[in-house]
Amino acid sequence: MTSAEALSNDISGLMHELGRRARAAAGALAIASAERKHAALAGAAQAVDANRAAILDANGLDMANARDKGMSAAFQDRLLLDDARLDGIVDALRAIAELPDPVGTVIAEWDRPNGLHIERVRTPLGVIGVIYESRPNVTADAGALCLKSGNAVILRGGSDSVHSSQALVECLRLGLAQAGLPEDAVQLVPTTDRAAVGEMLKGLAGNIDVIVPRGGKSLVGRVQSEARVPVFAHLEGLVHVYIDRSAELDKAVAVTLNAKMRRTGICGAAETLLVHEDVAGTHLGPILEALMARGCEIRGDAAVMARVPAARPATEEDWRTEYEDAIIAVKIVPSLEAAIGHIEHYSSHHTEAIIAEDPAAVEKFFAGVDSAILVHNASTQFADGGEFGFGGEIGIATGKMHARGPVGVEQLTSFKYRVRGNGQLRP
Amino acid sequence: MTSAEALSNDISGLMHELGRRARAAAGALAIASAERKHAALAGAAQAVDANRAAILDANGLDMANARDKGMSAAFQDRLLLDDARLDGIVDALRAIAELPDPVGTVIAEWDRPNGLHIERVRTPLGVIGVIYESRPNVTADAGALCLKSGNAVILRGGSDSVHSSQALVECLRLGLAQAGLPEDAVQLVPTTDRAAVGEMLKGLAGNIDVIVPRGGKSLVGRVQSEARVPVFAHLEGLVHVYIDRSAELDKAVAVTLNAKMRRTGICGAAETLLVHEDVAGTHLGPILEALMARGCEIRGDAAVMARVPAARPATEEDWRTEYEDAIIAVKIVPSLEAAIGHIEHYSSHHTEAIIAEDPAAVEKFFAGVDSAILVHNASTQFADGGEFGFGGEIGIATGKMHARGPVGVEQLTSFKYRVRGNGQLRP
| Closest CA–CA distance from residue B364 to any residue of chain A (Å) | 10
Encode A328-387 in three state secondary structure: EEEEEECCHHHHHHHHHHHCCCCEEEEECCCHHHHHHHHHHCCCCEEEEEECHHHCCCCC
**Pair A423, B378: CB distance under 8 Å:** yes
Q: Of B130, B48, B40, nearest to B89 (Cα)?
A: B48
Put simply, the answer to whether B422 touches A116 (Cβ < 8 Å) is no
Residue A39 has phi, psi (to 5 degrees) of: -65, -40
- Looking at residue A1, its pLDDT comes to 52
Query: Of the candidates B344, B366, B420, which has its C-beta nearest A418's C-beta?
Result: B366
> What are the residues whose beta carbons fall under 8 Å from the beta carbon of A135, sequence distance 6 or more?
A78, A79, A157, A158, A161, A214
| Closest CA–CA distance from residue A63 to any residue of chain B (Å) | 30
| Closest CA–CA distance from residue A211 to any residue of chain B (Å) | 12
Chosen from A117, A209, A400 to mutate, greatest number of chain B CBs within 10 A:
A400
What are A309-320's pLDDT values in tens digits?
999 999 999 999
The whole-angstrom separation of Cα A210 and Cα A196 is: 16
Which residues of chain B are within 8 Å of residue A209 when distances are taken between CB atoms?
Answer: 400-401
Query: Of the candidates B210, B416, B419, which has its C-beta nearest A382's C-beta?
Result: B419
Query: Of the candidates A230, A371, A382, which has its C-beta nearest B230's C-beta?
Result: A230
Q: What is the mean pLDDT of chain B?
A: 96
The whole-angstrom separation of Cα B164 and Cα B79 is: 9
| Closest CA–CA distance from residue A103 to any residue of chain B (Å) | 10
Put simply, the answer to whether A116 touches B373 (Cβ < 8 Å) is no
Put simply, the answer to whether B424 touches A382 (Cβ < 8 Å) is yes
Furthest-apart CA atoms within chain A: distance in Å? 79
**Pair A154, A127: CB distance under 8 Å:** yes
Query: Of the candidates A123, A210, A371, which has its C-beta nearest B401's C-beta?
Result: A210
Instruction: For residue B24, name the pLDDT band (cuts at 50, 70, 90).
Output: very high
**CB neighbour class for A281 (10 Å; exposed up to 12, middle 13-18, buried from 19):** exposed
Query: How far out from the chain centre does Cα B339 lie?
Result: 27
Q: How many residues does chain B have?
A: 427
Furthest-apart CA atoms within chain B: distance in Å? 79
Q: How confident is the model over A129-148, as a mean pLDDT?
A: 95
Which residues of chain B are within 8 Å of residue A112 when distances are taken between CB atoms?
Answer: 387-389
Whether residue A295 is predicted with pLDDT greater than 80 in this model: the reply is yes
- Looking at residue B234, its pLDDT comes to 93
What are A361-412's pLDDT values in tens digits?
999 999 999 999 999 999 999 999 999 999 889 999 999 999 999 999 999 9
Which residues of chain A are within 8 Å of residue B362 when distances are taken between CB atoms?
Answer: 420
**Pair A213, A219: CB distance under 8 Å:** yes
Which residues of chain A are within 8 Å of residue B116 when distances are taken between CB atoms?
Answer: 378, 382
**Pair B186, B165: CB distance under 8 Å:** no
The whole-angstrom separation of Cα A154 and Cα A229 is: 14
Query: What's the CATH number for A239-387?
Result: 3.40.309.10
- Tell me which of 3.40.50.11540, 1.20.1430.10, 3.40.605.10, 2.40.30.10 is the CATH number of domain A3-232+407-418: 3.40.605.10
Chain A nearest-CA residue for B228: A228
Q: How confident is the model over A277-288, as a mean pLDDT?
A: 98
- Parallel, antiparallel or unpaired: strands B127-132 and B413-424: unpaired
Compute the Cα dihedral for B256, B257, B259, B260 and give only its sign: positive
- Looking at residue B9, its pLDDT comes to 74
Put simply, the answer to whether B258 touches A426 (Cβ < 8 Å) is yes
Comparison of pLDDT for B315 and B391, the residue scoring more: B315
Instruction: For residue B12, name the pLDDT band (cuts at 50, 70, 90).
Output: very high
**CB neighbour class for B195 (10 Å; exposed up to 12, middle 13-18, buried from 19):** middle
- Looking at residue B148, its pLDDT comes to 97
**CB neighbour class for B424 (10 Å; exposed up to 12, middle 13-18, buried from 19):** buried
Chosen from A33, A110, A419 to mutate, greatest number of chain B CBs within 10 A:
A419
Angle between helix A52-68 and A162-178 (nearest 10): 160
Judged by DSSP in three states, A209 sits in: coil
Whether residue B3 is predicted with pLDDT greater than 90 in this model: the reply is no
| Closest CA–CA distance from residue A425 to any residue of chain B (Å) | 5
The whole-angstrom separation of Cα A127 and Cα A142 is: 12
Chain A nearest-CA residue for B109: A388
- Looking at residue B391, its pLDDT comes to 86
**Pair A359, A246: CB distance under 8 Å:** no
Query: Of the candidates B110, B255, B388, which has its C-beta nearest A118's C-beta?
Result: B388
Chain B nearest-CA residue for A261: B426
- Parallel, antiparallel or unpaired: strands A351-355 and A373-378: parallel
**Pair B251, B283: CB distance under 8 Å:** no
Whether residue A8 is predicted with pLDDT greater than 80 in this model: the reply is no
Common-topology check for domains B3-232+406-418 and B239-387: no
| Closest CA–CA distance from residue A251 to any residue of chain B (Å) | 5
Instruction: For residue B258, name the pLDDT band (cuts at 50, 70, 90).
Output: very high
Residue A16 one-letter amino acid: H
- Parallel, antiparallel or unpaired: strands B127-132 and B152-156: parallel
Residue A420 one-letter amino acid: R
Which residues of chain A are within 8 Å of residue B106 when distances are taken between CB atoms?
Answer: none
Which residues of chain A are within 8 Å of residue B414 when distances are taken between CB atoms?
Answer: 400-401, 404
The whole-angstrom separation of Cα B172 and Cα B41 is: 7
Q: How far is CA B385 from CA A345, B88, B93, B145, B409, in A?
A: 37, 16, 15, 12, 10
Whether residue B66 is predicted with pLDDT greater than 60 in this model: the reply is yes
Which residues of chain A are within 8 Å of residue B425 when distances are taken between CB atoms?
Answer: 254-255, 258, 262, 378-379
Task: Give strand pairing partners of A177.
Answer: none
Chain B nearest-CA residue for A364: B31
Size of interface A-B (CB pairs under 8 A): 167
Q: How confident is the model over B223-252, as a mean pLDDT?
A: 96
Put simply, the answer to whether B344 touches A116 (Cβ < 8 Å) is no
Q: What are the boundaries of each domain within chain B?
A: 3-232+406-418, 239-387
% pLDDT > 70, chain B: 98
Q: What is the mean pLDDT of chain A?
A: 96
Which residues of chain A are within 8 Å of residue B382 when distances are taken between CB atoms?
Answer: 116, 419, 421, 424, 426
Which residues of chain B are within 8 Å of residue A30 when distances are taken between CB atoms?
Answer: 370
Instruction: For residue A50, name the pLDDT band (cuts at 50, 70, 90).
Output: very high
> What are the residues whose beta carbons fall under 8 Å from the beta carbon of B157, sequence distance 6 or more?
B132, B133, B134, B135, B136, B138, B139, B165, B188, B189
Q: How many residues does chain A have?
A: 427
Query: Of the candidates B30, B379, B388, which has its C-beta nearest A425's C-beta?
Result: B379
The whole-angstrom separation of Cα A400 and Cα A373 is: 12
Encode B34-75 in three state secondary structure: HHHHHHHHHHHHHHHHHCHHHHHHHHHHHHHHHHHCCCCHHH
Q: How far is CA B201 from CA A203, A365, B22, B132, B191, in A?
A: 19, 33, 15, 13, 16
Which residues of chain B are within 8 Å of residue A373 when distances are taken between CB atoms?
Answer: 416-417, 419
Say yes or no: ipTM exceeds 0.90. yes
Query: Of the candidates B27, B373, B377, which has its C-beta nearest A423's C-beta?
Result: B377
Query: Of the candidates A374, A424, A426, which has its C-beta nearest B418's C-beta?
Result: A374
Residue B145 one-letter amino acid: L
- Parallel, antiparallel or unpaired: strands B396-397 and B297-300: unpaired
**Pair B267, B407: CB distance under 8 Å:** no
| Closest CA–CA distance from residue B19 to any residue of chain A (Å) | 17
Chain B nearest-CA residue for A359: B420
> What are the residues whose beta carbons fall under 8 Å from the beta carbon of B397, sequence distance 6 or more?
B232, B233, B234, B372, B403, B404, B405, B407, B411
Put simply, the answer to whether B416 touches A370 (Cβ < 8 Å) is yes
What are B324-363's pLDDT values in tens digits?
999 999 999 999 999 999 999 999 999 999 999 999 999 9
What are A164-216's pLDDT values in tens digits?
999 999 999 999 999 999 999 999 999 989 899 999 999 999 999 999 999 88
Put simply, the answer to whether A401 touches B230 (Cβ < 8 Å) is yes
Q: How confident is the model over B258-266, as a mean pLDDT?
A: 96
Q: Of B123, B106, B96, nearest to B390 (Cα)?
A: B96
Name the strand (E) or helix (H) holding A56. helix A52-68
| Closest CA–CA distance from residue B366 to any residue of chain A (Å) | 7
Topology adopted by domain B3-232+406-418: Aldehyde Dehydrogenase; Chain A, domain 1 (3.40.605)
Whether residue A7 is predicted with pLDDT greater than 80 in this model: the reply is no
- Looking at residue A260, its pLDDT comes to 98
Which residues of chain B are within 8 Å of residue A397 when distances are taken between CB atoms?
Answer: none
